[in-house]
Amino acid sequence: MDKVKELILRKPIIFLLVAGVYLLLVDLLKWGIHLTADTAWFIAGGVIGIYFLDAAELFFRLTPSPFRSIVFTTLFTMVSFFIVTSSRSALASGLVLSLYLQMVLWQVGEWRVAGNLNTWYRMVATPVSFKTQGVILMTFSALFFLETYLFIY
C-alpha cells in the first residue's frame, strides 16, 4: 500500500492538471457533451496512462528507467500510432495518448531543468547535439498532436 501512496504522491500536480484538461478536451471534441460507454473507457484508459510508466518504474525498481530513452520513445510512437489509427478501443486509445502525453511532459520538464535531454540518449553510441535533441522533441510533440487529431476525427 505504501508503494501506491508513493506513486500517487510523487506525480507532479502540473502533470495531473495537464493530463486532466487534455483528457476532458479530447473527450469533448470526440463525443461532445454526450456521455457514452466509450467516453468512460477513454477517461479510464487516460487515468491508467497517467500512472502506468511510473508504476512500472516503481514496482520493478527500474533505474535508470528504460522508458525515458529515445529507443523506447521511438518504438512507443510507432505502437501508439498503430493503436490510435487501427483500434476501436477507447480504453486503449486513452491509455496510449495519456502515456504519450506523460512522456512529452517528462521530456519538456527535463529540457527546462537540465537544459538538454542527454539522459534520454544514453543508448545512442554518439552524442546527440542540443539542436538535434530539440528537433526530435518537437517532432515527437507534433506526432502526439497528429495522433490526437486522428483519434478525434
Tell me whether the omega of the peptide bond preceding residue 64 falls within 30 degrees of 0, making it cis. Answer: yes
Spatial separation of the C-alpha atoms in residues 85 and 87, rounded to whole Å: 6
Q: What is the CB neighbour count within 10 angstroms for residue 11?
A: 14
DSSP 12: -
> Is residue 100 within 8 Å of 76, Cβ to Cβ?
yes
Cα separation, 127 vs 118, in Å, equals 8
pLDDT score for 5: 86
Q: Alpha carbon 110 to chain centroid distance?
A: 14
Query: What are 83-126's pLDDT values in tens digits?
Result: 999 999 999 999 999 999 999 999 999 999 999 999 999 988 88
The pLDDT value recorded for residue 67 is: 95
CA distance 64 to 75: 18
Residue 1 has pLDDT above 80, yes or no: no
3-state class (DSSP) for residue 7: helix
Q: Of 53, 152, 59, 136, which is closest to residue 100 (Cα–Cα)?
A: 53
Nearest to 149 by CA among 91, 88, 97, 72: 97
Report pLDDT digits (tens) over 23-82. Answer: 999 999 999 998 899 999 999 999 999 999 999 998 898 888 999 999 999 999 999 999
